[in-house]
Each structure stands twice: as C-alpha cells, then as structure tokens.
C-alpha cells in the first residue's frame, strides 16, 4: 500500500509539472506576440532637412498626415535646415534606432559625402522607402534660337555653353555635368539661389540654358522652351517634351527623388511596421493627388529596392562629382 500511494503521488506531481510547463510556454508565446505588436506607442518625429514651404517640406507633411491615420499616433514634422541637408541627416543618424525619429531623405543623401565631405553615408541609415520623384528638365529661352536638345549639344560642342542650376552641389548641377559627360559637350554649370531663379536666368538670356525641376520650368510659361526631360519616360504634365534618350540617343536620367529613412539598426518588427506604413501612405489617393498637383511623379520603391538604388546613385555621384571637384 505505501508503494502504491507513493507511485500515485509521483504521477500526480508529474501531471501538475507538465501542465505548468504547457501554461508557461503559452504565456511566453502570448507575451512575445504582445511585445511585437506594441509599436508605435508614442508620437513619431519626422525630421525635414529643408525650410518650411519647399518641395521636401510639403511632400513630408503630406506623407505625415497619411502615416498618422495608419499608425494611430501623431507624426510630427520638424524642420531642421542647414548644410544642404547634412545637419538633419547627421542628427537622425545619431538618434536611437527605436522608430520614433525618422526623416525625409532627398537625393542629397547620396551626394553630400562627395560634395561636402559630410558624415552622410547611405549605409549608415535604414532606408524605408522612396516616396516621390521630380525629374529634371533642360530649358532655354524662348527667343534663344535653340529648338532642340540636339541643337544645344551641337552648340556646346563648338564652345562652352552656360547652364544655370539651383546651387553648387545640387542635383541639377550634377545633371548638367552628367549631360556633358554623356555627350562630350562643354557645359559650364552656373549656380543660382534656387531653381526658379535658375530658369529665369535662361529665360532672360543671362545663361544659355537651365536644368531644373519641371514645375519651375512650367512656371516661366512661354518665356522658355523645354527641350527634354531627364527621365526614362515622358512626364504626364509635359507629354510633348521628349526624353533625353528620344532627343539625342543618350540615356541621361537625373531627378530630385526623396524617401523616408531612419537611424541604422531598427528592430525587425519596427522596420517592418514603418516600411508597410510608408507603402500604404504612398498608395493613398490623397497623397497621390498631392504629388500630381505638385508636378511630381509618385515613384515608390520598398526598403530593399531603394537601398540598392541609393547605393547606385552614391557611386554615380562619387564618380561624376568627385572628378568635377578635382578639376575645379
């Protein structure tokens, strides 16, 4: 009898222990699932590298409005201009990678290390997704006598042709250098304070041509002639303007793209949540209409695609602008 009672007691204890293990395992899974689903719990700051009212600022704020509805927290735009965007990018890169500080990254994220020796390298960030593209265009004054991009290139093959851009180290200066590199023509970049001023210089004849965004060229109306769009397809707001490839047989593609990025090292669940939210925001009707009204293209690339693209752009600008800076 004692032996049977001991055996039964041991069996009972074993059953209790097994039940406790099962409950413990279930509790751990539930706790893990709950922990993975808590982001975001706090407001998110969206750092913008430019002053209020510009293209980067307006695109960022339009996206922030959509992100708030998707993520269920406030997404607070915060302007931090300075050093052509390097100030904001270096700041974002120094924050904790917890997802509560993100930023808008313009094309300069792939340029500043080369043009200004800034501590800005694409590999030092988590790139969450591209959200827009503003393709470049080449314009001349309506009374310049230059009818086509081929005419402009021919003139530049005979002697230096001045081309206005939005500022030293800008994407439009890089586009001018790239056009010259592709054609072998002699284009001299002339920096101005902004794209609108640059196009106005071409319209008045102060320079022979200008490279800018389409919106800045269209704003000059009949004072300018748009010779080509620097994209792989025509722009829906200027369907009669050929691409550079169509005009001269050279695939010259430059644009003012932008996207959302974060400090390097986001937890996997946070990165997944933010990437999905950016994608959903870009696909919203409201955001798409905003970019259309602004004269931009809605071009979305996910984290992996955009990372590859930015790395390629970094190498392009390093080769293109690094060489040009050596010669200056």
Per-residue pLDDT of 213-266, as tens digits, reads 998 899 899 999 999 999 999 999 999 999 999 999 999 999 999 999 999 999
**Predicted local distance difference test score (pLDDT) of residue 168:** 83
- More confident: 9 or 142: 142
Report yes or no on 260 lying in a domain. yes
Give the global pTM.
0.80
36: tokens are: 């993975």
Longest distance between any two alpha carbons in the chain, whole Å = 116
CATH of the domain at 150: 3.40.190.10
CB 80 within 8 A of CB 317: no
Q: Within this chain, do residues 118 and 265 fall inside the same structural domain, yes or no? A: yes
| Residue 9, preceding peptide bond in cis (omega within 30° of 0) | no
Q: Within this chain, do residues 244 and 260 fall inside the same structural domain, yes or no? A: no
Report yes or no on 73 lying in a domain. yes
* Cα dihedral value 75, 76, 81, 87, nearest 10: -60
Q: Within this chain, do residues 259 and 129 fall inside the same structural domain, yes or no? A: yes
Q: Within this chain, do residues 275 and 241 fall inside the same structural domain, yes or no? A: no
Report yes or no on 225 lying in a domain. yes
Q: Within this chain, do residues 140 and 126 fall inside the same structural domain, yes or no? A: no
- More confident: 307 or 35: 307
CB 306 within 8 A of CB 275: no
Q: Within this chain, do residues 87 and 143 fall inside the same structural domain, yes or no? A: no
* Beta-carbon contacts of residue 318 (< 8 Å; ≥ 6 apart): 113, 114
| DSSP state at residue 239 | T
Q: Within this chain, do residues 286 and 244 fall inside the same structural domain, yes or no? A: no
- Give strand pairing partners of 75: 44
124-156 pLDDT per residue, tens: 999 999 999 999 999 999 999 999 999 999 999
Nearest to 45 by CA among 27, 12, 30, 67: 67
| Tally of domains in the chain | 2
Distance from CA of residue 143 to its chain's centroid? 36
Task: Compute the distance between CA of residue 8 and CA of residue 11 in angstroms, rounded to an integer.
Answer: 5
Domain boundary among 194, 215, 248: 248
Q: Within this chain, do residues 103 and 233 fall inside the same structural domain, yes or no? A: no
* Tokens 């008045």 found at: 204
Residue span of the structural domain in which 56 resides:
44-133+255-327
């Amino acid at each position: 009898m004692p032996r049977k009672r001991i055996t039964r007691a041991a069996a009972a204890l074993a059953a209790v222990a097994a039940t406790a293990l099962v409950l413990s395992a279930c509790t751990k899974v539930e706790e893990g699932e709950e922990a993975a689903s808590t982001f975001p719990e706090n407001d998110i700051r969206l750092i913008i590298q430019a002053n209020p009212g510009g293209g980067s600022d307006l695109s960022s704020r339009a996206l922030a409005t959509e992100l708030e509805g998707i993520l269920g927290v406030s997404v607070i735009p915060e302007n931090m201009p300075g050093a052509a965007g390097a100030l904001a990018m270096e700041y974002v890169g120094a924050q904790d990678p917890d997802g509560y500080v993100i930023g808008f990254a313009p094309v300069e994220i792939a340029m500043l290390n080369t043009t200004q020796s800034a501590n800005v390298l694409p590999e030092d960030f988590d790139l969450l997704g591209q959200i827009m593209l503003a393709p470049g265009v080449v314009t001349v004054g309506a009374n310049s006598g230059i009818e086509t991009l081929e005419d402009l290139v021919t003139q530049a093959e005979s002697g230096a042709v001045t081309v206005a851009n939005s500022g030293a180290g800008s994407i439009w200066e890089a586009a001018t250098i790239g056009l010259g590199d592709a054609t072998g023509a002699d284009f001299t970049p002339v920096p101005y304070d902004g794209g609108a001023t640059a196009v106005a210089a071409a319209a008045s004849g102060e320079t022979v041509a200008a490279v800018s965004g389409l919106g800045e060229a269209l704003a000059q109306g009949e004072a300018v002639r748009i010779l080509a769009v620097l994209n792989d397809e025509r722009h829906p707001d200027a369907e009669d303007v050929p691409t550079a490839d169509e005009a001269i047989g050279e695939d010259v593609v430059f644009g003012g793209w932008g996207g959302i990025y974060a400090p390097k090292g986001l937890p996997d669940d946070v990165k997944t949540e933010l990437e999905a939210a950016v994608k959903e925001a870009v696909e919203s009707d409201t955001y798409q209409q905003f970019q259309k009204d602004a004269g931009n293209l809605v071009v979305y690339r996910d984290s992996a695609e955009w990372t590859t693209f930015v790395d390629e752009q970094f190498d392009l600008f390093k080769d293109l602008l690094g060489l040009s800076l050596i010669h200056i």
